[in-house]
Amino acid sequence: MPGPYTKHFWTSAEPLYQQILQMPFNEELRRGTLPEDCFIYYMKQDALYLADFGRALALAGTRSAEPGQMLDFLAFAEGAVVVERALHEHYLQEYGATLDIPKSPSCEAYTGYLLRCAILEPLPVALAALLPCFWIYREVGQHILNHAAQPNRYQKWIDTYAGEEFGETVNKAISLTEKAAEETTEAMREQMKEAYLKSTRLEYLFWDAAWRKEGYPI
């Protein structure tokens, strides 16, 4: 369960989370009527995103002052990447798709922000910036699982993000972020909240880009 600081971060961004639930992409995925081309585009972008997300997790992990915590973080990061990569490989193989497109503008903005945070910002801020990708996906997955039409052609996606293995990863991310918030200053906690909010906004843009199949004009 989140502690007081991570709960505050979540509450601050909850109105936007509610909008994410109601976005056309997630509503259509819940109904099982999401157009195949939208889903394939999304899986390609998500695979591109995951590569840089994994780098950001690793970079943040190596900055820990405690060797044991660093190893725990890197193991947790590896587990997160393995779960999501398996999902991407499953669907790309199922649809006979390859990573034949560049990152969308929204994907570039999101991964660029996470990498900048992982390299340049204090570690507590970097952890807060990385947290929404875990937490929001779990909550979206569980919401869709509870309200999904059956049968649903995207059930494996739903089961992955609503599943116990991913849930344990999310709990670990929340715990690490909570601990960092406990051990820092009020001013730093405010920076953490702002980083969490910005990543949540970028999550919204990533979902929206998937629905629009966003690309560069030339």
* Residues belonging to the active site: 133, 203
> Helix, strand, or coil here: 113?
helix
Whole-number Å distance between alpha carbons of 85 and 79: 10
Residue indicated by tokens 């889903």: 39
Burial class (CB in 10 A: 0-12, 13-18, 19+), 54: middle
What Rg do the C-alpha atoms of the chain give, in angstroms? 17
Cα distances (angstroms) measured from residue 22 to each of 57, 125, 142, 158: 29, 28, 14, 16
Count Cβ atoms below 10 Å from residue 209 Cβ, excluding itself: 22
Instruction: Note the residue count of the chain.
Output: 218
State the Cα–Cα distance between residues 201 and 118, nearest whole angstrom.
Answer: 18
Q: Whole-angstrom distance between the N-terminal and C-terminal Cα of the chain?
A: 46
The span from the CA of 83 to the CA of 157, in Å, is 11
Q: How many Cβ atoms from other residues are within 10 Å of residue 27's Cβ? A: 15
